Amino acid sequence: MSYDRDLAFEYNSPTKIIFGENSIKDIGLEIDSLGCSKGLIVTDKGIVEAGLAEKVEKVLGRRYAGTYDQCSQDSGFHLVDEGAAFALEKEADILVSVGGGSVIDTAKGMAVVMKEGGRLKDYSGVQMLSRPQTPHVVVPTTAGTGSEVTKYAVIKDWERNVKDFIYDDFIIPDRAILDPTMVAGLPPHLTAGTGMDAFSHAVEAIHTLNRQPIADGMALQAIRMMVQYLPLCIEEGENLFYRGQQQLAAAIAGIACGTTFFGLNHAMAHCIGALFNVPHGVGNSILLPHVMLFNLEECANLYALIAGAMGLDVNNLSDEEAGKAAAEAVWELTKKIGLPQKLREVGVPEEGLAEAADLSLADGCIVYNPRLVMGAEEVLEVYRAAW
């Protein structure tokens, strides 16, 4: 693995990770260590119905301030502002998000509004904050988004029907409680979709223009772990060891991509998610092999490393051959875990591809793609290949 002689980067991963079965019992201690006393649970209706929010409520005990359960699949600015007002009404001084990426990102946004006032839209963008925000403890209930350890939040602007970003060091959660018992009941299709979200994080961390040695090492390890344990989580969802390994892999991939950012794959997935409500992990999964083939001319050597991490024998292959083999292996992995293979299978209309391609050019992730995207027509060709 080689880097340019002018390599320079920053690496910062301030989130304290607490891992282990039943580690949610430590939430109270972590809240105390942050100097806080009233925790508001941020979650969604599904998590409440599954009884997971109640488990956290019980361990909070006297520290429990209430529950905001209005999060949706694509969190919106209006939900963040509403949640922050609710938290202030309950006099909460710390947020405890219990859920997947949308829930965690909602809480990240709430933490900003609670501290700074106004509306979240006032702080949309890159490094808009100047001080630490409301403390935030994350209890993920999926193993994929990595949002528990990253500096960005994806929030949908429902008025413009687009997904927007907040990218800031001050929204990185303070604590991440990775408890395998909190993901053991995740259905196979959600396990697969969120798992491939994490897998795409690892791949894009390796091929992004911001790639660097620390993140590369983490991303390659995450790939090794996911290739082994993600299918096992589908087959034996109640196995806490398998679940824990996938949780760790997702967090490791999240730290990697949180350091390097993304590329074309996430830009395209964001757009079909905003326009056609395609779950983010599923969109990433369908698009990833096609984006890898699009990028192959610029980073075949990196995809050869990914092929090796996936367990392929690449000793007698050229970098280009190994890169193609890696893309093929991603296809096979998604088939093995039961995910759809085409955009048409998840409700994306062919006539909507051009709009998605145009929208992708405005997504910040595209800037860091290893192959320069010259225009919407190139993106449209990738969408068409995946359709």
> In this model, does residue 294 exceed pLDDT 90?
yes
Parallel/antiparallel/unpaired status of strands 152-157 and 162-167: antiparallel
Q: Which of 263, 262, 266, 269 is nearest to 348 (CA)?
A: 269
Q: Which amino acid is at 300?
A: A
Q: Give the count of alpha carbons within 13 A of 302, CB side only.
A: 25
**What confidence category does residue 11 fall into, taking pLDDT thresholds of 50, 70 and 90?**
confident
* Strand stretches in the chain, DSSP E: 16-19, 39-42, 64-68, 94-99, 125-126, 136-140, 152-157, 162-167, 175-178
Model pLDDT, residue 126: 87
Structure tokens at 220: 């390659």
Rounded to an integer, the average pLDDT of 307-334 is 96
> In this model, does residue 357 exceed pLDDT 90?
yes
Model pLDDT, residue 176: 97
Q: Which amino acid is at 87?
A: A
Model pLDDT, residue 1: 64
Model pLDDT, residue 157: 84
Model pLDDT, residue 40: 98
Angle at 193 between CA 156 and CA 141, to 5 degrees: 75
Q: Are 314 and 307 in contact (CB under 8 A)?
A: yes
Looking at the chain, the whole-number percentage of residues with pLDDT higher than 70 is: 100
Using only the alpha carbons of the chain, give its radius of gyration: 20
Rounded to an integer, the average pLDDT of 32-55 is 96
**What confidence category does residue 156 fall into, taking pLDDT thresholds of 50, 70 and 90?**
confident
**DSSP output for 283-316:** HHHHHHHHHHHHHHHHHHHHHHHHHHHTT---TT
Mean pLDDT of the chain: 94
Looking at the chain, the whole-number percentage of residues with pLDDT higher than 90 is: 87
Give per-residue pLDDT as tens, 99-155: 999 999 999 999 999 999 999 999 988 889 999 999 999 999 999 889 999 998 988
Could you tell me which residue, 161 or 72, shows the higher pLDDT? Answer: 72
Hey, what domains does the chain have and what are their CATH numbers? 16-182 (3.40.50.1970), 188-386 (1.20.1090.10)
Structure tokens at 41: 């649970």
Q: Which of 201, 192, 195, 85 is nearest to 154 (CA)?
A: 201
Q: Distance between CA 207 and CA 291 in Å, rounded?
A: 11
Model pLDDT, residue 356: 96
**Residue 103 in 3-state DSSP?**
helix
> In this model, does residue 51 exceed pLDDT 90?
yes
Question: pTM of this prediction?
Answer: 0.94
Model pLDDT, residue 174: 97
Q: Which of 138, 386, 165 is nearest to 261 (CA)?
A: 165
Q: Distance between CA 359 and CA 268 in Å, rounded?
A: 8
Could you tell me which residue, 116 or 157, shows the higher pLDDT? Answer: 116
Q: Distance between CA 265 and CA 360 in Å, rounded?
A: 10
**Residue 216 in 3-state DSSP?**
helix
Model pLDDT, residue 191: 96
Q: Which amino acid is at 246?
A: Q
Could you tell me which residue, 365 or 162, shows the higher pLDDT? Answer: 365
